Structure 1
Amino acid sequence: MYRILIVDDERIERQGILQLIKTHKLDLETILAENGEVALEIIKNQPIDILITDIKMPFMDGLELAEHVSKLNPNIEIIIYSAFNEFEYARRALRTNISNYLLKPIQVTEFLAVLKQTIETCDELAAQNMRTDQLLEGYNRGLLYEKEKMLLDALNGKPNAVNSRTLDRSFDQSDHTWIHLIIADCGRKFFDIHHDSFTALLKETISYEFDYVNMDENQSVLFINHHQPIDKETLRELGESIIQKTREAMSENLGLVVGKAVDRLDQVHDLYTEMERMLEFRFFMEDQAILFSDEQFAQANFNDIELNQILEKVYQCLEYNDIEVAKYSLELLFSYLKTKGQFSSLYTKFICSEIMKKAVTRDNKLEFTEMNVYLDSIYRTVSLHDLKDFMFAIFDKIEISTEMKAKDDSNLKLIRTIRELIEKEYGEDLSLEGIAERVYLTPSYLSYLFKKETGQSLIRYITQVRMEKAALLLTESNMKIVDMYTLLGYRSSTYFIQTFRNYYGVTPAKFRESSS
């Protein structure tokens, strides 16, 4: 319904035009004004489609009003009416973007013809605007897709993305741009279900320019753009705010990994790979929600010969069920750590967590679920002495089975079982929690183990299997694309199509077309 503003200083004239519109049931919402000044204020404060005005009025006449309106909004259709002796005056006014005019006394048939013609003009303008909006929306969607594809290619290290373009050029900004990657990780299915609400939350929380790429249902990546690197404390506060708001709004606990600043797309892949390795530390630090890629424990590796030898001795003793010598080697380890004093408490606890993990996985009488209790106790110790006492208590408790196969064989068998399960049930509602429950592992440990043994996350492997099955359906069957998603374990066709496009770089329809 269009809105028409009727302007006349004589009430009887205003009411007469209003009555004509009502009597002939014209689909118009009517607003009345007694002079040009009042009418102009109305037009400034609310949308008007058609203006019909008398010429001769006090304060501001109809022609002056028409001039102002033409400048404010040239899309408003303007109709003027005047007495016969004002006709020449009115005709000159037609230069002022006036659509039509009527002579007093207004003839009903002429009035209806002019108004219906004006409504048709409004219809044409609305249709044209809709087509323009649709074209613009499609163009913007294309730009967004191209940008998202570029960012995904950069994360995955694909050559077409990392052709030495600087970020300021690729993001089309005039100033030099620095970027901080932030990986948002959730142990459960989250980013597919809460994509829209989480995106809205990010827009409310982040004051910097940013881009958001959904990697899979468990992980998304933020690209925070700024003209200079952002200091660590500011990033920590931002991360804490995102985590807190997500917990309050969606009852989910996120973990974040924050990367150092880079200024080239060809640096993104290596940084992302380094940050993904950080996610393995979440298994050992579930109470620490924000990790930074440049922290000491992230960079640490066993490159010290003496420490390496001690740890190797501990692991060897555990392998051969020699608990007494293992305790002796553990004593040497704590003496070494105390003497050196060069490692952070967090890294020291990480070393002990690794030892404890290896010991627990060799004991077939101990439930894997108890590992989380041990890990929590390790990270709650407040001194090296307390940590040492706890580790020796674990060694006293664990009875290592001599019949236990080597850990690698056990892990490979477990991974093979999981892969077979996914191959058979890819069309079901598979989740990290559900699979972990079936193989008697905690979700966090299963996620860590699968990534360690295969080099990719469990969720990505599920996606890979589903995408391969989707490709077969597209090339070897005539099944409709909208009917495929349920067979492949997805909740909606929209998310299936988005996932397929992210995986293959084209939509399912384009994939089928290119394969035929």
Structure 2
Amino acid sequence: MTNVLIVDDEKIEREGLKYLLSREEGERNVFEASNGKQALQIIRSEDIQLVLTDIKMPHMDGLELSRRAKEENPALQIIIFSGYSDFTFAQEAIRYGVTEYILKPVNPEDFHKVIQKAEKVIEQRKKKESREIKGKNFLQQYFLQNYLYSGKLETLEKAKDIINLEKWNGWHCGILLESDVAFFDTAEETLEEEIQKELRRVCFYLNLNARQSLLLFQDVYCDYQLVANHLYNFMKRKYRDSFYLAVSRKFEGCECLPEILEQLEQQMEEKFYHPEKHVFSNEDDVLKLSVGEVQDS
């Protein structure tokens, strides 16, 4: 899905470009602006990838808009439309990083070629960014899993040289999600995204093995018992398998992560003694301790 911004002070011209876009293959979100100032506001608030702009407009012309838009987002693809076959305009447009310069009235065939070219560049950039994100996530997961199971500070030291550990230090609670079967071996790649969308909060998702995944959260002021209950109901509703969740205590700093995982594993063992229960938390252990102290006294 490409986010396209059409900029022209004449509505009939904007409608014409929208019509030509509708004839192209693919899906697009189309935004409109009647001048350069309005266009800049949209570029700052929306993830615009392609701008189609007239060159002559009040308040701010297409060239000035192109210059300032490129300062906001250097990756932006910009196509300028003009009724002037002035070579100076074309030179200026190229200098400001404009992708294409098309004369009015717009030839539909020329429009088709230019849009295809611009959207191909956008798609290639998206794929490159996706590969880079996946690569970074893989390194995060690789070092985190090694550290969780080894508990060696040397692993943290190695990780510091390759990845930014600020994200790790921002985690304050963990939820261990466990299945009775090898659910995570066949789970969809979109599971992480589905969970975050359902919970309406960002978390770091780490698949530990075929039966377990760990979710790490940043929000300090949150009742993660409620979050775990919400997640359990979602998993139960969407999948037929049986799931159990363990909620950690609040913690500070990534150095304690191996200890947190160990505590979560211990909490998860409670499912053998309470098969009817599906969400376990650190509060259960505190309650047991309090009852024990009362009995001893």
| TM-score range relative to shorter protein | 0.5 to 0.7
Retained in 2: the 8 A contact 1:165–1:264? no
Deviations 1:469-512 (A, max 9, x none): xxxxxxxxxxxxxxxxxxxxxxxxxxxxxxxxxxxxxxxxxxxx
TM-score, normalized by length of structure 1?
0.39
**Residue 281 of structure 2 aligns with which residue?**
292
CA distance in 2, matches of 1:170, 1:217: 28
Q: Which residue of structure 1 aligns with residue 262 of structure 2?
A: 273
Aligned to 1:78: 80
1:351-370 equivalence runs, <5 A: none
- Specify whether residues 28 and 79 from structure 1 end up closer, same or farther in structure 2 by C-alpha distance, changes over 3 A only: farther
Shift of 1:8: 11
After superposition, what is the alpha-carbon deviation per residue over 1:380-417, rounded to whole angstroms, capped at 9, x for unaligned? xxxxxxxxxxxxxxxxxxxxxxxxxxxxxxxxxxxxxx
Pairing 1:202-217 to 2, within 5 Å after superposition: 202-217=195-210
Task: Map 1:34-49; keep pairs closer than 5 Å.
Answer: 37=34
Greater relative contact order structure (CA < 8 Å, 6+ sep): 2
84, 97, 107: which one aligns with 2:93: 97
2:211 equivalent to 1:218:
yes
Q: Which runs of 4+ in 1 moved over 6 A?
A: 5-9, 38-49, 297-300
Are the equivalent residues in 1 in contact too, given 2:172–2:216 (CA < 8 A)? yes
Work out the CA distance in 2 between the residues paired with 1:221 and 1:91.
Answer: 60
In the alignment, what sits opposite 2:27? none
**What is the rounded CA distance, in whole Å, between the counterparts of 2:50 and 2:198 in structure 1?**
36
Say whether the 8 Å CA contact 2:49–2:122 is kept in structure 1: no
Deviations 1:150-207 (A, max 9, x none): 22112212534344989xx954259x63422221122233233444464234203445
Mapped contact 1:180–1:223 kept (Cα < 8 A): yes
Corresponding residue for residue 296 of structure 2: 342
- Judged with a 3 Å threshold, the aligned counterparts in structure 2 of structure 1 residues 51 and 158 are, in CA distance, closer, same or farther, namely same
Which structure is higher in helix share?
Answer: 1
Q: Whose strand fraction is larger, Structure 1's or Structure 2's? A: 2
Asked if the contact 1:191–1:219 (Cα under 8 Å) also holds between the matched residues in 2, the reply is yes
- Asked if the contact 2:174/2:248 (under 8 Å) is kept, the reply is yes
- Matches of 2:184 and 2:65 in 1, distance apart? 48
- Unmatched tracts of structure 2, length 5 or more: 25-32, 71-75, 95-99
Distance 2:7 2:173 in 1: 57
1:241 maps to 2:230: yes
Distance 1:157 1:252, change over 3 A: same
SS of residue paired to 1:76 = strand
* CA separation of 1:245 and 1:50: change in aligned 2, threshold 3 A: closer
**Partner AA of 1:237 in structure 2:** L
- The unaligned stretches of length 5 or more in structure 1 are 30-35, 301-337, 344-516
TM-aligned CA distance change 1:165 to 1:42, over 3 Å: closer
1:172 aligns with 2:174: no
Aligned to 1:250: 239
Q: Quick check: 1:66–1:78 contact (8 Å CA) kept in 2?
A: yes
Q: Which amino acid aligns with 1:138?
A: R
For residues 164 and 236 of structure 1, do their structure 2 counterparts lie closer, same or farther at Cα, with a shift above 3 Å needed? Answer: farther
The total of aligned residue pairs comes to 259
Instruction: Confirm or deny: 8 A CA contact 2:246 2:279 kept in the other structure.
Output: yes
CA distance in 1, matches of 2:186, 2:126: 28
**Identical residues among aligned pairs (%):** 10
Q: 1:201 to 1:138 in 2, by over 3 A?
A: closer
Compute the TM-score of the two structures, normalised by the length of structure 2: 0.63
User: How far apart are 1:252 and its partner, in Å?
Assistant: 4.2
- Contact residue 49 and residue 122 of structure 1 kept, 8 A: no
| 1:38-437 correspondence runs (5 A) | 60=57, 66-67=62-63, 70=66, 71=68, 75-82=77-84, 90=86, 93-94=89-90, 96-97=92-93, 99-100=100-101, 116=110, 123-157=116-150, 159=152, 160-163=154-157, 170-173=164-167, 177-196=170-189, 198-226=191-219, 228=220, 230=221, 234-293=223-282, 295-296=284-285, 341-342=295-296
- 1:39 CA drift (Å): 11
